[in-house]
Chain A
Amino acid sequence: MSELRGVIVSHAAVAQALAAAVTAITGIEGALTPVSNEGCGTEALGLRLRDAVGTGPAVLFVDLPGGSCFTSSARYAKQGGTDIAVVTGVNLAMLLDFVFHRDISPAEAARRAVDAGAKAIRVTP
């Protein structure tokens, strides 16, 4: 199985910052492609997603479970013609887990990401 591509889709520069943080922590480059919705309507954001995803299987990590990043990602995953999973509520912990587990299906990777991301959200006593 080819390695999955991860695409981070966010408002403003959140995606770029998360991708840079993953590289800074792991040294892994190129596993994650940031996409911002800055200045984009629906059509333009769809084109950015197409360029970022390419032809292979992918997981789209979206910042919020609603809004233009989410609707464009969900629409692209449905219509894009390739194997794509969408995860919302992206955080650094799930991305760090993802870059080390990219030899599985998008659906499996998405489940792993949700698990890893949720485990990182805690209240420290």
Chain B
Amino acid sequence: MTLALYRIDDRLIHGQVVVGWGQPLHVSFIVLVDNEVSNSDWEQDLYRMGVPPQIEVIFSSVEQAAERFATWQADPRVGILLVGDVDTAVALASHVPQVRRFNVGGVHHRSGRTERLRFVYLTDDEAAKLRALAARGVEVTAQDVPTARAVPIGEFT
């Protein structure tokens, strides 16, 4: 198997990821790509606490991801790759062209953002960046949990 889900979620590792997606996908590792978290042992400990011991958590910066992506892809286990925001997703897709899809799983309200879906709030700039990703051939859909419909990008940007 390989990375089964590429997710944009500002909560990073949390219940929907570990349980909601992790259980049905039989996930054995989670790659968290975040420049800030990759530089903080304390933040890494915090996120590890939410994950059962049988699931490995790998922390990476965007630049490190470019070097390590082939290893994750070749891993015989099932994995999930997480980023916390649209900018990191765009940067990752630029550094790692093999990333061909993103699931927008949770981008929440903040000043300047408007509601696109119950669990997706975007600025106009963020929406434009997602459309640009899609125009480059990256499949972008929004779906908070596996039992929900994958909403095509045209319906929320």
Residue B21 is within 8 A (CB to CB) of chain A in the complex: no
Contact residue among A11, A42, A70, A74 (Cβ-Cβ distance under 8 Å from B10): A42
Among B70-78, B107-115, B134-142, the stretch in contact with A:
B107-115
Contact yes or no, B46 A68, CB < 8 A: no
Residue B68 is within 8 A (CB to CB) of chain A in the complex: no
Name the residue of chain B whose CB is nearest to the CB of A40: B108
Given contacts A39-B108, A41-B108, A44-B109, contact A64 B46 (CB under 8 A): no
Name the residue of chain B whose CB is nearest to the CB of A63: B15
Among B47-55, B94-102, B123-131, B147-155, the stretch in contact with A:
B47-55
Residue A65 is within 8 A (CB to CB) of chain B in the complex: yes
Contact yes or no, B106 A71, CB < 8 A: no
Report the interface size class on chain A: 10 to 19
Contact yes or no, B109 A66, CB < 8 A: no
Contact yes or no, A39 B15, CB < 8 A: no
Give chain A residues whose Cβ lies under 8 Å from the Cβ of B109: 39, 41, 44
Cα–Cα distance between A75 and B44 once the two chains are bound (Å)? 12
Residue B80 is within 8 A (CB to CB) of chain A in the complex: no
Using CB atoms and an 8 Å cutoff, list the residues of chain B in contact with chain A. Answer: 10-15, 18, 42, 46-47, 49-51, 106-110, 118-119
A-B contact pairs, 24 of them (CB 8 A): A39-B118, A39-B119, A41-B106, A41-B107, A41-B108, A43-B108, A44-B108, A64-B15, A65-B49, A66-B13, A66-B49, A67-B11, A67-B13, A67-B14, A67-B18, A68-B14, A70-B46, A70-B50, A71-B11, A71-B14, A71-B46, A71-B50, A74-B46, A75-B46
